[in-house]
Structure 1
Amino acid sequence: MKQKMKIPYTVLCYMLLIFVSAVILFPLIFLFTNSFMSVSDLNVYYGIAEKKFFHWVPDNFTLDQYVHAFLYSYQFLHSFWISILTTVPSVIFQLILSLMAGYGFAKHNFPFKNALFILYVILMMTPFQVIQAPQYILFNDIGLLDNIASIVLTSIFYPLGICIMTQSMKKIPDELIEASKIDGANSVQTLIHIVVPSAKNGIVTVLFLSFIEQWTIVEQAVVFIKSTANMPLAVMMQRLSGLSTPGSFVFALLFIIPPMLICFICDEYILDGIIKADLLEV
């Protein structure tokens, strides 16, 4: 009887999973198939004169949009490069600070440690709009407005990364830390040779979440950057990706490829890191 009741439940679960997967994959399939559409077909199906919501299969498969994106779309390539220049340094700084702060919270005792950790959690929930005015005034005074350094500086402090690294490092046995100290290792050597290899899942999780946040950053760029030449790709996508614009589907496809690659390569580490990062435990 229980077996018979279990079958409809299993079928229902599979149907729900298939539906959710279809909803998630729909935009990707739509972008991929339409990226092979010719410029003339773009005007026919998505132009002002005759606009359709979806056209799945191009009438003529062509690489015109890819040629246009890589050879003639200077603004797209430049904005892509700006996104790299803002994302990579931000992720590196965030990872380094998260490692050091997480190690301090997890394996060292100091006054008001729990209170400070709770403060990090509160800051993690603080929206950018709360602090954008003082940051704008500061960058204006030191001459960093309309400079990509302003985006990097506002991003190097990453409370979520610190919380994840703290919880990941708390899972490391204290005996390993003590053994390294007995062998004569200092705190830096212990962090590099013992803690980092043991907390690799948390590190990859922070790297992935940090990259996603920085790659798709919009608000900081809109507030601090004025010139089009310094705008990252997340902001420029709105101007570059009108449905009837040549290369529009390729622009959108290339924009999501970097985070997707990181997700596919590191998915096991990311899942394990998120599961083990119990942020409620101080």
Structure 2
Amino acid sequence: MKTNRSPVISNGLVILFALLFIFPFYWIVTGAFKIQTVAVAIPPEWFPLEPTLQNFADLFKNPVWRWTFNSFFIASCEMIGVCLAASLAGYVLAKKSFPGRVIIFTLFVAAMALPKQVILVPLFTMLADFGWVDTYHGLILPAIGWPFGVFLMKQFAQTIPSELIEAAKIDGCSELRLFYNIVLPLLKPAMGALAIFTFINGWNDYFSQLILTRSTPMMTLPLGVATLQGEYTTPYGVLMAGAAIASVPMIAIFVLFQKSFTQGITMGAVKG
């Protein structure tokens, strides 16, 4: 009797890749409880035999709570702003007919191909002219017009039946009420996926935050932790403690929006 080995092989590969992706996080968490000599020891100590909290004590000698608040506030504002702006723009580009619609959408798609480093110099010059360098709005507002967000929401808005929108208009529904009561609930799975992408992108946007911040109180958590690296020595245990703390909000956001994220990723494949 023949046995089907495909599920066994596929499950084994899934478990193997899952372990490979989880291992860096495991190494960061365990490294946060190791002293410096153990953290850099060769061969490595796979599990801290003498765990210590000294790395966290050294870490919190710095304004970590302020850095954490900055990261959470900036990433959350970007998430809300991108989801709102992208859902409005995506709905208009998908369901409204007006001159230049195709050109505008093409520009959004073309903007996705531009590396952030290309626009950072003119962006910094513009923000400096406005006096927005080293400010919250200077870090948040440029990220709200994220081309990928508009592209994603436009693709999902196309799946909304036009007959449903027309029926709402016949019933006397205004544009804002139509968007808020009908379109927005149908876009929630896509907004859940976009919320996760935006929050992680804003939380990990080290390069832009490095250029646009000047003072220590305005630093974000990834940027602040990076400054703890010395010129001649690197406190790996302290850095791993900071990285472990920095990973907690991203995990929480993913767990919070996990259902919407899964629906948003799979909806296009099911309907396609």
User: TM-score by structure 2 length?
Assistant: 0.87
Once the two structures are overlaid, the 10-residue window that deviates more, 205-214 or 235-244, is: 235-244
- 1:202–1:277 Cα contact (<8 Å) kept: no
CA gap of 1:246–1:20, structure 2 versus 1, over 3 A, is closer
Mapped to 1, the partners of 2:173 and 2:162 lie a distance apart of 14
- Aligned residue among 36, 45, 59 for 1:43: 36
Mapped to 2, the partners of 1:63 and 1:45 lie a distance apart of 14
- Is 1:229 the equivalent of 2:220? no
Mapped to 2, the partners of 1:128 and 1:65 lie a distance apart of 34
Match of 2:256 in 1: 265
- 1:240–1:251 Cα contact (<8 Å) kept: no
Task: Report how far residue 73 of structure 1 moved.
Answer: 3.3
Structure 2 residues not aligned, in runs of 5+: none
Mapped to 2, the partners of 1:274 and 1:13 lie a distance apart of 21
Match of 2:47 in 1: 57
- 1:167–1:276 Cα contact (<8 Å) kept: no
Structure 1 residues not aligned, in runs of 5+: none
User: How many corresponding residue pairs?
Assistant: 267
Task: Report how far residue 178 of structure 1 moved.
Answer: 1.8
Match of 1:105 in 2: 93
- Is 1:149 the equivalent of 2:137? yes
Match of 1:184 in 2: 172
Mapped to 1, the partners of 2:268 and 2:121 lie a distance apart of 32
1:145 partner amino acid: V
Mapped to 2, the partners of 1:236 and 1:277 lie a distance apart of 39
Match of 1:32 in 2: 29
Question: What are the within-5 Å matches in structure 2 for residues 158-169 of structure 1?
Answer: 158-169=146-157
Mapped to 2, the partners of 1:276 and 1:142 lie a distance apart of 42
2:50 partner amino acid: N
- Point out 4+ residue stretches in structure 1 off by more than 6 angstroms: none
CA gap of 1:129–1:246, structure 2 versus 1, over 3 A, is closer
Mapped to 1, the partners of 2:131 and 2:171 lie a distance apart of 49
Mapped to 2, the partners of 1:238 and 1:11 lie a distance apart of 43
CA gap of 1:20–1:245, structure 2 versus 1, over 3 A, is closer
- 2:74–2:139 Cα contact (<8 Å) kept: yes
Mapped to 2, the partners of 1:253 and 1:277 lie a distance apart of 34
Task: Report how far residue 255 of structure 1 moved.
Answer: 0.6
- 1:46–1:243 Cα contact (<8 Å) kept: no
Match of 2:159 in 1: 171
Once the two structures are overlaid, the 10-residue window that deviates more, 148-157 or 262-271, is: 262-271
- Is 1:23 the equivalent of 2:28? no
1:228 partner amino acid: T
Which secondary structure state, in structure 1, belongs to the residue aligned with residue 257 of structure 2? helix
- Aligned residue among 4, 7, 10 for 2:7: 10
- 1:120–1:159 Cα contact (<8 Å) kept: yes
- 2:87–2:153 Cα contact (<8 Å) kept: yes
1:84 partner amino acid: F
Q: CA RMSD in A?
A: 2.5
Mapped to 2, the partners of 1:184 and 1:73 lie a distance apart of 60
